[in-house]
Amino acid sequence: MTALFALATSLLWGLADFGGGLLSRRTPALTVVVVSQSIAVAVLGAVVMATGGWSEAGPQLWFAVAAGLAGPVAMLAFYKALALGPMGVVSPLGSIGVAVPVGVGLVLGERPGLVQFLGILVAVAGVCLAGGPQFRGAPVQRQAIALTLLAAFGFGAVMALIAEASTTLTGLFLALFVQRVTNVAAGGLALYVSVRRGSPALPAKGFPWHSLPALAFVGLADVAANGTYSIAAQHGPVTVAAVLASLYPVVTAVAARGVLRERLRAIQSAGAGLALVGTVLLASG
């Protein structure tokens, strides 16, 4: 079950990141974050009401609040980095954040077996190569790398925190709702400050109503990924769940190949293959 939910997480995160990156090329990244997460809040609020999730309120929700504060910083940095591009730089480096939840798992006493440890090394190496890393180039690329490293740490912190925010399914819905409300509050404040400083909140043509379905998909896919990761981490080793969930750059790279016609280089194909081998080792270890 851990492998299944963790792989679902990587698929959802990969598609959400690809969609968010595309949207941020036409709409300010902060607006993409706030609007997409607001849609997720509305949906999650209805789910919490329908399932009676309010009964699960407790001190553990502070983990969700902390995840909600870290999330907007990570998403904003990541979407800005994706907008600066290329995705081949940003996507694989974003997976470095897996070191945070893996480190937490090790501190809590988890010790992967030899096969799983080998799988972790192979999968992480594959993910880093799958984007076809490019470290040479203009200052814009160096800025994208710096933003991606900030995002990676934030994403890793969110993974570690959300796994501690609930122990039941209804509690998970409530935790995700609290996390997203915090996301919107923090992101909305940042957007307000940005506008006061003269940055536009919307494209020149006004609110991109035609992009609303895409914004909804990004917000809902991201929150669903947090949910599937929490389930994966609760039903198996965090070290395994975190590494499998971090395969999302492979999904982003494949989506970029299919939609944007970005050609996969030899190093990317080799990285995708290594990621697949690492996945098999982790699932069978």
- In this prediction, the residues of the chain whose per-residue pLDDT falls under 70 are 85-96, 98, 108, 110-113, 116, 120, 123, 127-142, 260-269, 271-273, 275-276, 278-285
What is the reported pTM? Answer: 0.75
Read out DSSP for 40-85? Answer: HHHHHHHHHHHHTGGGG-STTHHHHHHHHHHHHHHHHHHHHHHHHS
According to the model, what pLDDT value does residue 214 have? 92
Q: Can you give the pLDDT at residue 93?
A: 65
H or E element that contains 37: helix 29-51
Per-residue pLDDT tens over the stretch 117-158: 777 677 677 766 655 555 544 444 667 777 877 888 888 888
CA distance 58 to 189: 26
User: Within a 10 A sphere around the Cβ of 14, how many other Cβ atoms?
Assistant: 22
Cβ within 8 Å of residue 156, ≥6 positions away: 96, 97, 98, 99, 100, 101
Could you give the angle at which helices 266-284 and 2-23 cross, rounded to 10 degrees?
A: 150
Residue 136: is it exposed, middle or buried by C-beta count within 10 angstroms (0-12/13-18/19+)? exposed
Q: What was the pLDDT predicted at 178?
A: 92
What's the token pair of residue 276? 């697949």
Look at residue 138 in the predicted model and tell me its pLDDT: 44
